[in-house]
A and B are shown apart, each in its own frame.
Chain A
Amino acid sequence: MSLLEVERASSFYGDFQALYDISLAVEEGERFAVIGSNGAGKSTLLRMIAGLLPARGGSIRFDGRPIDALRVHERVALGISMVPEGRRIFPSLSVEENLLVGGYRRGRRRGWDRQRVYDLFPLLRDRAGRSAAVLSGGEQQALAIGRALMNDPRLLLLDEVSLGLAPIVIRDLYERLPAISEAGTTVLIVEQNVDQALAFADRVTCLLEGRISLQGRSAELSRPAVAAAYFGV
């Protein structure tokens, strides 16, 4: 049984259909990437899994249990944490408070805690007392990831973490991501940056205009095949 199962789910923005009958499965402990160009529906998929968008037709199951009826905060309690597009850290809270509020729902799970997050991102420890509003883009991204980890999630959803960041910052971020999955957390990333995605992930799904154009183990996929699926050529 996979940790996350999406079965023939569709999603709409009003009358506009963003996802068509998407099916995928993510195994526990896996590193999974969803790639695709702008507007392909990647973020929509993630938001649907998190509960911010309803899944029409089809179903989503977490740990074997259907979660379609659960609201966002209830899914967080189950162990699904999302790092949203655009970071969305809380500007009126300090760095440390952002982390603390990330643990609002964790209950008694034992795994990621403040110390481990600070070990993963030492820069956060240095800035613990500062207002989150004055952090740079890369620092905010680290904080957003740390905040999501404070829930000690079983499944971590990362939405376009490289957006708006300098290449060197992106590289640094991706150097730390493996530590997360090594700790046992399942990671599902959404990325426009294909190189980083393929380097990080075990398995990859490519979306094109709301449909799956390619799926497979990243090691087995050829570059031309990925390019074709990405651009729809």
Chain B
Amino acid sequence: MTSQPSTRDGAARFHVKQGTRASRAAAVIGMLLLAGLATLPAWGPPGTMKLLIEFLTLLALAQMWNLLAGYAGLISIGQQAFIGLGAYGLFICTDRLGFHPLLAIVVLALAVAVVALGTALFAFRLRGGYFAIGTWVIAEVFRLLVSGAKEVGAGSGTTILGLGFLGPQARLALTYWLALAVGFGSIALLAWIMRSRLGLALRAVRDSEEGAQSLGVDVLRTKKIVWVIAAVGCAVAGAVIYMNLLRIQPTAAFGVEWSARMIFIVVIGGLGRIEGPIVGALVYFALRETLSDFGSLYLMVLGLVAIAVTLLAPQGLWGLFVARFPVTLFGAHPRLEMLAADDGGPPATSQEEKR
């Protein structure tokens, strides 16, 4: 992806190139993988599909947290608010309003966007650690409100029945494809954001809020946009998760365990890089499969690993890898490529910009 060459007379001419050889290769491999995986409902066992649904939705959630914390500096432990809203939104749309699940997702996405803007009014009055707890309180408020609402089953929760018309196989296939869309989509979304003006603004804000502000970046608006995007992402992922689980309980849907998972995946894998959560999700699932018999011991291990990684390898596993072998698979890697004086000739020099 390149921009139009600058062609002012007498001035130097340059391209801004975003892709690298590695990123182009990764994009191709990614698309082939996606195509391959999409055929799974035709031949794959349901168990594998369910595992992939879990993996892909968790990956999407982690990418949303990555977007918030790694790029916008917003550390939230309350994203479960939107996961729960996505779940209950799906329920209301399919069971109460009779929408087709795809329409339901569009509708709930819009609704959550509005809600997210509303919560921003409160959350953004706090900073740093207190912002984090504030987001948690907001999630708790939603949990309490929903737990008291008899229309959606109150504290004991409810079951999504409105998808019954699909039949179990079709429902699983649809959920699976949506999970693929959500999982791969989250990577594509972050990559697209990073190559856009929003991404540029985010990187500027990440480096120096004051500096960015003085250059005309509306810091608050940038953060709010990211907040809404992440909220909608979490809600859609939440809807897909519960399309699979079907049974919604407020304490689980709005539980802080979701944040714990998201944080763990991103911290272990690497914050602020798109590839990080992919690595983190793989590690998370590997740990879970090997240690799941050990219950709370497994969670303790997760906590200890998160502490260790934060202190000893703050860039995460992917960060460690990239320190040795610099490569950008999905992120933006903008470089200035100078053109020779004659129009369209081979590039005279190439200057790398550090990501």
**Do A and B share a direct contact in the complex (Cβ within 8 angstroms)?**
no
**Interface of B toward A, CB cutoff 8 Å:** none
